[in-house]
Structure 1
Amino acid sequence: MISIAKYLTIAQNTHQEMIIKKSRFITRLYRIHTVAEAQEKIQQVKKIEYKATHNCSCYRVGNQLQQAHDDGEPQGTAGLPMLAALQQMQVQDVVAIVTRYFGGIKLGASGLIRAYRNSVVQTIQQVGLIQRIPLRQITLILNYHQYELIKLEINRQATKIQTTYTDQVQLKLWLPPIQVENLQQTLQNKLSQKIELQIGDLTYQEVPYSTTEKPV
């Protein structure tokens, strides 16, 4: 069953490399929907970066399922800071893998925490976020007079609109489920008659989302 909660995730899969005190930190972010997908991505990266000193990882599936792994770094200095970055930026359905090639200079516990956290934060900032919003699709057909009477109200209520003009006006609207009844009432009030709505499935629509989160 589809969730009715909106949430943030990364705009697309991405990777980014940073050099910190001669160590290479390669951050990969993938959009996922299940724990199995997250674990599969982690194993794929470990095979690609099999010569790396560490392949640290974390994931968040929804708002409840999450896990972090330090992969040989001192306990709590890698996976958990990465996971904290996802949590603080409220990002879900993402797996993050940070590969480290040791450059010969030890960073210390606090340095590792900053390096792993900032690797994830900066990669998220680079790729950008989108908001996934559950919306109900509504289809209705109006004559041109009816359309002129209610188009401003439709523009106000609908999150997304697709309009087809023929001898009539076909509208496909996407709006939050709780607004469907409001739309029906608005149409009836404006047009003084009941308009038949074709109510479709509840699906996620993606819209851009900006963030000002800064590394520390």
Structure 2
Amino acid sequence: MFTLDQTTSLEQVIKKSRFIAVAGPLANEQAARGFVTAHSDLNANHNCWAWRAGQTYRFSDDGEPSGTAGKPILQAIDRLELDHVAVVVTRWFGGVLLGSGGLARAYGGTAAACLRAAPRVD
């Protein structure tokens, strides 16, 4: 298993909505909660997140339809075989509805792109 070496961010615009992912390493559940709070933007429409620390994990759709944001972010973490990692994806709505599948692809894809860009350590 790998973790991240440092906090990394990535921005994408998908059908006029702006998505910013921030991913970083964490030591435990308390650090994960702090990371989510520190990297959420209260002026955004949604701050969706996921984190994994060993067997413990959590995720949140933050008002998006159930299963369209937090779970795809967690799946991106797991697909890349990362541990002790948190990801927050912040969305500013651009006026175009993405639908459930579009939201899942946008959140999961933005998280995965950010995680792939981040330096990893064993």
Aligned partner of 2:104 in structure 1 is: 113
Say yes or no: does 1:31 pair with 2:25: yes
Paired AA for residue 32 in structure 1: L
Paired AA for residue 127 in structure 1: A
Q: Distance in 2 between matches of 1:119 and 1:31?
A: 17
Corresponding residue to 1:74 among 65, 71, 76:
65
Aligned partner of 2:46 in structure 1 is: 54
Structure 1 runs of 4+ off > 2 angstroms? none
Q: Distance in 2 between matches of 1:44 and 1:11?
A: 18
SS at match of 2:113: helix
- Displacement of 1:13: 0.8
Q: What does residue range 123-162 of structure 1 map to in structure 2 within 5 Å?
A: 123-131=114-122
Say yes or no: does 1:9 pair with 2:3: yes
Q: Distance in 1 between matches of 2:5 and 2:101?
A: 30
Give me the identity figure in percent. Answer: 37
> Cα deviations across residues 80-139 of structure 1 (Å, max 9, x unaligned)?
0000111111100011000000000010000001011111111111123222xxxxxxxx
Q: Give the gaps of 5 or more residues in structure 2.
A: none
Aligned partner of 1:104 in structure 2 is: 95
Q: Distance in 2 between matches of 1:104 and 1:85?
A: 26
SS at match of 1:12: coil
Q: Say what the alpha-carbon RMSD is for the aligned residues.
A: 0.9
Aligned residue pair count: 122
Say yes or no: does 1:22 pair with 2:41: no
- Displacement of 1:41: 1.2
SS at match of 2:43: coil
Say yes or no: does 1:45 pair with 2:39: yes
Q: Distance in 2 between matches of 1:84 and 1:124?
A: 12
